[in-house]
Amino acid sequence: MKILVCVKQVPDTNEVKIDPVKGTLIREGVPSILNPDDANALEAALRIKDQDPSTQVVALTMGPPQATYMLRECLAMGADDAYLLSDRAFGGADTCATSTTIAAGIKKVPDVDVIFAGRQAIDGDTAQVGPQVAQRLGLPVVTYVQDIQMGDGKVTVQRQMEDGYERLEVQTPCLLTCVKELNEPRYMSVGAIVDAYKKEITVWDHAAVDLDPKDCGLNASPTQVFRSFTPPQKGKGEMLTGSVSEMSKSLVDTLDAKHLI
Ligand SMILES: Cc1cc2nc3c(=O)[nH]c(=O)nc-3n(C[C@H](O)[C@H](O)[C@H](O)COP(=O)(O)OP(=O)(O)OC[C@H]3O[C@@H](n4cnc5c(N)ncnc54)[C@H](O)[C@@H]3O)c2cc1C
């Protein structure tokens, strides 16, 4: 079985600061990391490989050349192969163009049985790319996956809901978007990091994945960014203390005093 994991290099949002004058993100000097949900997706694939060593795990990303560092991290965690879709023509892509390129890349990877993606990237935050890739490949998709049991030609998953979960069976090939509750990603060993730097990473441009430049990047991005801004900070919250009944009474009194109830 081959599992392909879509991984994205993102700025570590814990380190991102806001320019107080312009209200924009200060990205300079901010370290890049493997998107957290994607680390869970990769870990899920690696656990399946731990149980069945014939499983192959491959990581694929679309990004600038620096994304190879993140792909080496994936290799050091245990992925067998890594693919980077990188080309100036891919620049300025919205989620629509991003998923077109990723889907074109996946088509070039032979014998993929299951695709894992993160639920959402911590920078773009749209959670659109996974389902869009599935749609472009004509595959079934299950989002918010918090448990995965591989079967023969099918996968049984738990899909996280607000008040519980759904248990679904889906035939392969399919795409699953993974949430952090799935697992705790493993650490890389020093030996594995050294080995990861000896491995080849396959780099593909638009021609290698049969895409015309007019169908990728900014050229194929219908999204128009009208305005971006930092939301005004909310006032300081008030913490209630005491027993549950004291806090409930205090909350009701406060809402009553403000004529909210
Ligand atoms: C007009 C416009 C121009 C933009 N220009 C740029 C630009 O020049 N450079 C830039 O970096 N961003 C750019 N962006 C942002 C870019 O569109 C998004 O970062 C990207 O489409 C992914 O969307 P997301 O972050 O919401 O991912 P989500 O949909 O939240 O991600 C869900 C999952 O999809 C997978 N995934 C997402 N992106 C990738 C990827 N690149 N490779 C592999 N897997 C992935 C991961 O598994 C991830 O967990 C632009 C956006 C717009 C609207």
Would residue 138 be called left, alpha or beta, if left means φ above 0 and alpha means ψ between -120 and 50 degrees? left
According to the model, what pLDDT value does residue 225 have? Answer: 82
The answer as to whether 54 is a domain residue is yes
The domain that holds 175 is classified in CATH as 3.40.50.620
The answer as to whether 177 is a domain residue is yes
pLDDT tens string for the chain (261 positions)? 999 999 999 998 777 776 777 656 677 778 999 999 999 999 999 999 999 999 999 999 999 999 999 999 999 999 999 999 999 999 999 999 999 999 999 999 999 999 999 999 999 889 999 999 999 999 999 999 999 999 999 999 999 999 999 999 999 999 999 999 999 999 999 999 999 999 999 999 999 999 999 999 999 999 988 877 777 778 888 899 999 999 999 999 999 999 998
The answer as to whether 234 is a domain residue is no
Residue with the smallest CA separation from ligand 1 atom 39 is 8
> What's the structural domain count of the chain?
1
The answer as to whether 251 is a domain residue is no
According to the model, what pLDDT value does residue 23 have? Answer: 59
According to the model, what pLDDT value does residue 89 have? Answer: 98
Cα distance between residue 129 and residue 115, in whole Å: 12
The answer as to whether 190 is a domain residue is yes
Residue with the smallest CA separation from ligand 1 atom 19 is 124
The answer as to whether 256 is a domain residue is no
According to the model, what pLDDT value does residue 224 have? Answer: 87
Residue with the smallest CA separation from ligand 1 atom 49 is 118
Task: Record the tokens describing residue 240, joined without a space.
Answer: 């209630």
Range of the domain at 212: 2-220
The answer as to whether 16 is a domain residue is yes
The answer as to whether 57 is a domain residue is yes
Determine the residue of 98, 101, 136 to mutate for testing ligand 1's pocket, defined as the one with the most ligand atoms within 8 A of the Cβ atom. 98
Residue with the smallest CA separation from ligand 1 atom 22 is 95
Cα distance between residue 184 and residue 110, in whole Å: 29
Determine the residue of 8, 101, 141, 201 to mutate for testing ligand 1's pocket, defined as the one with the most ligand atoms within 8 A of the Cβ atom. 8
Cα distance between residue 23 and residue 70, in whole Å: 29
